[in-house]
A and B are shown apart, each in its own frame.
Chain A
Amino acid sequence: MFKSSGAVLVYEDSNLTPIPMVTVMFDNNTEEVAPEGSPFQTNTLVIGGGIAGIQASLEIANAGHKVYLVEKTGTIGGYMATFDKTFPTLDCAACILTPKMVEVGQNPNIKLLTCSEVTSIDGTSGDYHVKILVKARYVNLATCIGCGTCAEKCPVRVQSEFDAATTMRKAVYIPFPQAVPNKYLIDSEHCTYLQAKKCGVCAKVCPVPDCINYQEQDEELEITVGNIIISTGFKPFDAARDDRFGYGKFPNVVTSLEFERVVNASGPSGGNIFLRTQDKKGNWIFQPEGTKPESIAIIHCIGSRDEHFNKYCSKVCCMYSLKLAHLVVEKLPDAKVYEYFIDIRAFGKGYEEFYKRIEQEGVHLIRGRTAKVEQKNDKLVLRSEDIEGGKIIAQEVDMVILAVGLEPRSDAEHLANMAGISRGDDGWFKELNYVTDSTGTSQQGILIAGFCQGPKDIPDTVVQASAAASRVLRNILKSSGETV
């Protein structure tokens, strides 16, 4: 029992150790082998490198067991890394997440596979055979020094996924400055050399010999693991699907994820809230300088609690909307902020208090969902029923934030089929028992954690990830004959 407390110490100390510049992957030779006579593998596969995957991986790795963490994009961190603040404590999201990301990068027990996807899962509990497609990064993870010269010279501009398309990145890029691994990669879809053998500038300017290699091929990796944790998260609802709110039509109707980047200091306008304007090429973008909006409206439940889209409540939107309202008040004290809601669901510790605080900050909270947004000259006009006031209102504002709901990822069905687990009517992975076993699935040794099991906020996600990790550790201990 007391041995594990040593692991906790490592966990705490690791924040202080510097980021090694070379690869942090563990050597295959050090992989744990199953105890003799037992087919049970003690390695664990974690699918998805958001906060849930990070938390689960660290819990297991810090208990002394090996983890493969598979992440589809070029960095771990997930959506949490894109948020400005977390509710209700208003912690800087990056400040609490990036130390954990760094720890994942450093932990010798974690083999991090970015740009990778699971392609098949076979076997049974304790002995899963998993195939992973490791896509070519075209930049050598071991030798890249992260200097950024390649991106500086790259002529191709692509919308940044990390900044929710509010900024542009290059075809060779680092997803964001604190990415883990802190290495560049080439977006093969947009790189003109990989597409048409034109350019090749990045390889020429790279100071490290042979670091950029256009000939790199995708690789298939086959691993054997005892347990799998699925923590693939969600995708935001596409606001253009509900055409009443003018998203994609009116430039200053923005989604909450876009706005998270706008208010963020590392976002498109350095954390200043400006209206979206047209650049020389006619694209609507947020620029470093601009006009401050005088009024902002936030509309709740976009794509959620709606028979036409997702019937369920996405659970986090009320609270993040209140948080966004607070951030507006903080940055633009003179601006008027309106929130149009059906109900305010302030369901957690400190949440109701947070709601009251926002109300006291002068945000106009109006019961009644907006039915449509129209543009009149430079203003956006929202038509809503003020249910408590018993009247119809046409509110003119400069900017509208759509609090988009969250839905299962498009590949959730594919993954469920591979893993042999089921999904509920709403598309989330089905837990063994909603009340008593929310991390277990119908497949022993396959666990689920985070938003992919159902709507939940970051604290709940972290708790569930730890719970899934403890289940994995229990399975490992049981199989090795130790008493739990």
Chain B
Amino acid sequence: MERVDANLINEVNKLGKGGWNECFHCGTCTATCALTDEGLIFPRLSYNYLQMGLKDSLASSVEPWLCYYCGNCSEKCPRDANPAETMMILRRYLTSVYDWTGLSRKFYTSHWWELIAVLVIGLSMVLLLGVFNPNGIVTELNSEGGVKINEMFPVHWVHIGDWIMAAAIGGLLISNVIRMWYLVIYKDKTVRVPISAYFTSFKAVSEAAVYFATQKRFSKCDDKKYWAAHWVLMSGYVSLFTMIVLFLPWFQTERIHAWYHPQRLLGYYATFALFYGLFFFLIGRIRKQREIFKHSHLTDWFFVVMLFLTTLSGILLHIFRINGMPSEAYYSYIIHIAVLVPMLVIEVPFSKWAHLAYRPLAKYFSELKKSAPRQMSTHG
């Protein structure tokens, strides 16, 4: 028997404005959705949890992660209850529920917390690279006329920093993922997933992997443009992240490779991909014509602006480096790191970007639950 939490609605209200009071459960949203399928009824069922204060059911539900915000349900909703935005708000809510540190909730509900966290991490990067860095600006150029970037910021030290950051982010994200598993699978008494299922359910694993790489589900939404723009943005982000964290010595070089060298081509592609995706979403959010862009939370803007600054400083750094502009390259490098690090540290474990883990896992967990024997019906 689940206890009703009268305060649930107030908690969710702080994360955005949805229409939970409006919904009269006609099911139009669910039947309009191209992604809802057997056994995973959304968005309507989430309204049931919200209206009835079923906190545990909501925390163990994966449905919000399966929605990609095409907005059709909000357009068709006869009550203007805005189910698509409600799904978005519930993704914020679930992110904050999975996060055991409580920081996620702080960042989502308080502008000051988010701003101060960004400033503290950013300024410590400035101090680390600009003030405590013994090397300073090296004005001398190398034989090819490029900036001696590795003398200013030795690549092995930066690489160690990368690893520390990646470990911190990964550790936090994994701990949140464990909590997600605890809430979604362990605490849901209606279904018992046997341990063996985690290994034998090849279909669930492979599907989750495919979704992670392609966001195939997103492409099932009626308008493929959004999926395409998101995928391009993601591909740029993932390739840069991989190069920085795993192959920094190969990526941060003083040598100026020929333009067709994979290092440069990959960098240019990633920059293009990030700018393309960013402008697509930025213009959309400013115009607000489509449902997906109508409601922007402050954290959405934060992320867009910071990713834009990171990309811009990154490509400028490259331009300054190959054109032999040492001080410009030096400052770009510092700005680049001072924006990139707080963005990753805040967004990945605590905020919007946590979805890169939660979305495929939600699909994986739901497949596991589907295949497991049911104790009793969850639908009321």
Give A contacts to B, CB under 8 Å: 244, 301, 305-308, 342-343, 367-372, 383-387, 389-392
State whether A342 touches B41 (Cβ < 8 A).
no
B30 proximal to A (CB < 8 A): yes
Q: Which residues of A contact B377 (CB under 8 A)?
A: 390
Smallest Cβ-Cβ distance to B37: which chain A residue: A392
Smallest Cβ-Cβ distance to A391: which chain B residue: B38
Query: Which of B29, B36, B41, B79 neighbours the largest number of chain A CB atoms within 10 Å of its CB?
Result: B41
Please list the 8 inter-chain residue pairs (A to B) with the smallest Cβ-Cβ separation, ordered nearest first: A390-B379, A385-B27, A371-B31, A368-B27, A306-B78, A385-B30, A369-B26, A342-B26
State whether B41 touches A385 (Cβ < 8 A).
yes
Q: Mark B23-49, 1 if CB is under 8 A from A, else 0.
A: 011111111100011110100100000
Q: Which residues of B contact A343 (CB under 8 A)?
A: 24
Smallest Cβ-Cβ distance to A303: which chain B residue: B78
Q: Mark B63-84, 1 if CB is under 8 A from A, else 0.
A: 0000000000000111110000
State whether A387 touches B31 (Cβ < 8 A).
no
Say which residue of A367, A369, A389, A391 sits within 8 Å of B28 (CB atoms): A369
Given A372-B31, A392-B41: 9 more A-B contacts, CB < 8 Å: A342-B25, A343-B24, A369-B27, A369-B31, A371-B27, A371-B31, A389-B379, A390-B379, A391-B38
A392 to B30, CA, bound (A): 8
Q: Which residues of A contact B39 (CB under 8 A)?
A: 391
23 A–B contacts from the bound complex (CB under 8 Å): A301-B78, A306-B78, A307-B79, A307-B80, A308-B78, A368-B26, A368-B27, A369-B26, A369-B28, A369-B78, A370-B31, A371-B27, A371-B30, A383-B31, A385-B31, A385-B44, A386-B27, A387-B25, A387-B44, A390-B41, A390-B379, A392-B36, A392-B37
A385 to B24, CA, bound (A): 13
A391 to B44, CA, bound (A): 11
A454 to B79, CA, bound (A): 21
Known A-B contacts A392-B36, A392-B37, A392-B41; the reply to A371 vs B379 at CB < 8 A is no
Q: Which residues of B contact A389 (CB under 8 A)?
A: 379
Q: Which residues of A contact B80 (CB under 8 A)?
A: 307
Query: Which of A383, A385, A390 neighbours the largest number of chain B CB atoms within 10 Å of its CB?
Result: A385
Q: Which residues of A contact B31 (CB under 8 A)?
A: 368-372, 383-385, 392
Known A-B contacts A371-B32, A385-B44; the reply to A342 vs B24 at CB < 8 A is yes
State whether A391 touches B41 (Cβ < 8 A).
yes
Q: Which residues of B contact A306 (CB under 8 A)?
A: 78
Range of interface residues on chain B? 20 to 34
How far is the CB of A141 from the nearest CB of chain B, in Å? 47
A391 to B32, CA, bound (A): 13
Q: Which residues of B contact A368 (CB under 8 A)?
A: 26-27, 30-31
A372 to B34, CA, bound (A): 12
State whether A305 touches B30 (Cβ < 8 A).
no
Q: Which residues of B contact A307 (CB under 8 A)?
A: 77-80
A372 to B37, CA, bound (A): 16
Smallest Cβ-Cβ distance to A394: which chain B residue: B31
State whether A387 touches B27 (Cβ < 8 A).
yes
How far is the CB of B247 from the nearest CB of chain A, in Å? 45
A383 to B26, CA, bound (A): 13
How far is the CB of B321 from the nearest CB of chain A, in Å? 55
Q: Which residues of A contact B41 (CB under 8 A)?
A: 385, 390-392
Smallest Cβ-Cβ distance to B79: which chain A residue: A307
Known A-B contacts A342-B26, A385-B30; the reply to A371 vs B76 at CB < 8 A is yes
A391 to B27, CA, bound (A): 10
How far is the CB of B33 from the nearest CB of chain A, in Å? 9
A386 to B80, CA, bound (A): 21
How far is the CB of B24 from the nearest CB of chain A, in Å? 7
Query: Which of B25, B79, B80 neighbours the largest number of chain A CB atoms within 10 Å of its CB?
Result: B25
Q: Which residues of B contact A301 (CB under 8 A)?
A: 26, 78
Q: Which residues of A contact B37 (CB under 8 A)?
A: 392
A370 to B30, CA, bound (A): 10
Q: Which residues of A contact B379 (CB under 8 A)?
A: 389-390
A368 to B78, CA, bound (A): 13
How far is the CB of B238 from the nearest CB of chain A, in Å? 33
A306 to B22, CA, bound (A): 11
How far is the CB of B275 from the nearest CB of chain A, in Å? 37
How far is the CB of B86 from the nearest CB of chain A, in Å? 16
Query: Which of B29, B36, B37, B76 neighbours the largest number of chain A CB atoms within 10 Å of its CB?
Result: B76
How far is the CB of A301 from the nearest CB of chain B, in Å? 8
A1 to B30, CA, bound (A): 62
How far is the CB of B361 from the nearest CB of chain A, in Å? 23
How far is the CB of B269 from the nearest CB of chain A, in Å? 40
Query: Which of B28, B77, B377 neighbours the largest number of chain A CB atoms within 10 Å of its CB?
Result: B28
Q: Which residues of A contact B38 (CB under 8 A)?
A: 391-392
How far is the CB of A364 from the nearest CB of chain B, in Å? 15
Q: Which residues of B contact A387 (CB under 8 A)?
A: 25, 27, 44
A343 to B79, CA, bound (A): 14
A204 to B39, CA, bound (A): 71
